[in-house]
Structure 1
Amino acid sequence: MNRETTNRIRFVLEDVLPPFLRDSGVFRWAAKRVWGDHISHLARFRERAPFLSAEEYAELYRNHPRVHEGTDNSAACIDRIVGSIEGGSICDVGCGTGALLSRIQSAHPNLTRLVGVDFVIDDASSLAGIEYVAAKVERLPFADGEFDTVICTHVIEHILDYRQAIAELRRIAKRQLIIVVPREREYRYTFNPHFNFFPYTHSFLRAVHPVPPTFVCDDIGRDIFYMEDRQATN
């Protein structure tokens, strides 16, 4: 399934179904027909978010079914990211399979450095010219301003301490920071292990406060594309 399909499904589930039904046992029963007991595990996961151990967090992600093939990004978001690259050194934090890095590499063959970061890198493809590093977004093993462009897509919604994560992304970005998160509402029963929900673009702007002088924050097909000029703040 691709991102465009899931975004159409999300429109029905989040904007058409009334909240009282979406949070009900009836919805949980119907969702279990598709997702099994994992739908209840996800609800308990969010309820216990402040108390989860590192092992519990990792265990859920190990067992979480992959919804999208290759990447969580839509084609429109990928095109926007690829067209927004600045400089020669790029870091994709939360790189997953490395699909986005592969697209960037194809579009920009003269880049000097491509680095993918994830807390588990087993799924990453072994592509020539791409370096993979296992690390958490809250504690990135890089120097200040080490990369010209830093990208982080479909990660911030998973991070309990998302302000620390955003601070780290800003710290290592020299010229450009790009973040993509889903535009979605919170309900008790969902099909994803998200902690943070941003139903509007201005909801996400509150999350990245203080907003720098030069930025972009657009809704691209139920995903929020945010980009800020780090040179204007450094």
Structure 2
Amino acid sequence: MNRETTNRIRFVLEDILPPFIRDSGAFRWAAQRVWGAHITHLANFRERAPFLSEKEYAELYRNHPRVHEGTDNSVACIRRILGSIEGETVCDIGCGTGALLSRIQSAHPDLHRLTGVDFVIDDASRLSGIEYVAAKVETLPFADAEFDTVICTHVIEHILDYRRAIAELRRIARRRLIIVVPREREYRYTFNPHFNFFPYTHSFLRAVQPVPSVYVCEDIGRDIFYSEERGAAD
């Protein structure tokens, strides 16, 4: 299933179904017919978020069924990302399978350095010319302003301490920071292990305070694309 399809499904589940149905035992029962007991595990996971051990956190993500084919990004978001890259060094935080890295490498073959980071890099395709680093977004093993462009897609919604994560992304970005998150509402029963929910673009702008003077924040097919210029003044 691709991102465009799941976004259409999300429109029905999040914007058409009333909240009292989405949070009901009846919805859980119906969702279990498709997703199994995992739908309940996800609800419990969010309820226990402040108390989870690193082992529990990692195990849930390892066992979570993969919904999308290769990447969580839509074609429109990928196109927007590729057109927004600045400089000769790029780091993709939360690289997953490496699908976005592959697209970046093809679109920008002259990059001097292309790096992928994830806290579990077992799924990465290990493409030639790309370095892979296992690390958590809250504590990145890079120097200040080490990369011209830093990209982080479909990660912030998973991070409990997301402000610390955003601070780290800003710290290592020299020229541009790009973040993509789903535009979605929170309900008790969902099909993803998300902690943070941003139903509007201005919801996300509150999360990235302080917003610099030069930025872009727009809705692209139920995903929020955010980009900001980095520099000494920021």
Letter in 1 for 2:12: V
Question: Aligned partners of 2:84 and 2:170: how far apart in 1?
Answer: 16
* Matches of 1:24 and 1:145, distance apart in 2: 47
Aligned 1:25-64 pairs, distance under 5 A: 25-64=25-64
1:21–1:27: 8 Å Cα contact kept in structure 2? Answer: yes
1:159-178 matches, cutoff 5 A: 159-178=159-178
Q: Structure 1: which 5+ runs fail to align? A: none
The one-letter code matched in structure 2 to 1:121 is: I
User: What is the Cα deviation at residue 126 of structure 1?
Assistant: 1.5
Q: Does 1:152 align with 2:160?
A: no
CA drift of 1:140 comes to 0.0
Tell me, in whole angstroms, the C-alpha distance in 2 between the residues paired with 1:166 and 1:146.
15
The letter for the 2-side match of 1:22 is: R
**Matched residue, 1:15:** 15
RMSD: 0.6
CA contact (8 A) 1:96 1:121 kept: yes
Measured in 1, the distance between the counterparts of 2:218 and 2:9 equals 21
Report SS of the residue matched to 1:145: coil
What are the residue-to-residue correspondences of 1:104-119 with 2, within 5 Å?
A: 104-119=104-119
Partners of 2:211 and 2:110 lie apart in 1 by 32
Per the TM alignment, residue 231 of structure 1 is displaced from its structure 2 partner at its CA by 2.3
Identity, % of aligned positions:
85
User: Equivalents in 1 of 2:190, 2:129: separation in Å?
Assistant: 37
Question: What is the alpha-carbon distance in structure 1 between the residues aligned to residue 47 and residue 57 of structure 2?
Answer: 13
Distance 1:159 1:198 in 2: 13
**Cα distance in structure 2, aligned partners of 1:177 and 1:131:** 19
**3-state SS, counterpart of residue 56 of structure 2:** helix
The corresponding residue for 1:218 is 218
Amino acid at match of 1:74: S
Structure-1 separation of matches of 2:43 and 2:113: 40
SS of 2:211's equivalent in the other structure is coil
- CA offsets, 1:146-204, max 9 Å, x none? 00000000000000000000000000000000000000000000000000000000000
Structure 2, gaps ≥5 residues long: none
Q: How many angstroms does 1:121 deviate by?
A: 0.1
Amino acid at match of 1:9: I
Do the aligned residues in 2 keep the contact of 1:212 with 1:232 (CA within 8 Å)? no
Give the Cα separation in 2 of the matches to 1:220 and 1:163: 23
CA distance in 2, matches of 1:233, 1:2: 39
Map of 2:92 onto structure 1? 92
Q: d(CA) in 2 for partners of 1:135 and 1:108?
A: 25
Alignment length (residue pairs): 234
Partner-residue secondary structure (3-state), 2:204: helix
Query: Separation in 1 of the partners of 2:83 and 2:209?
Result: 25
> Is 2:8 the counterpart of 1:3?
no
Q: Residue in 1 aligned with 2:136?
A: 136
| Secondary structure of the structure 2 residue equivalent to 1:231 | coil
- Deviation above 4 Å: which 4+ runs of structure 1? none
* TM-score, normalisation: structure 2: 0.99
- The DSSP-based 3-state class of the residue aligned with 2:116 is strand
TM-score, with structure 1 as normaliser: 0.99
Letter in 2 for 1:63: N
Letter in 2 for 1:86: E
Task: Report the CA distance between 1:232 and its aligned residue.
Answer: 6.5
C-alpha distance in 1, partners of 2:59/2:112?
Answer: 35
Letter in 2 for 1:162: Y
Which whole-Å CA distance do the structure 2 matches of 1:233 and 1:79 have between them?
A: 29
Partner Cα distance (1:169, 1:210) in 2: 14
SS in 1 for 2:231: helix
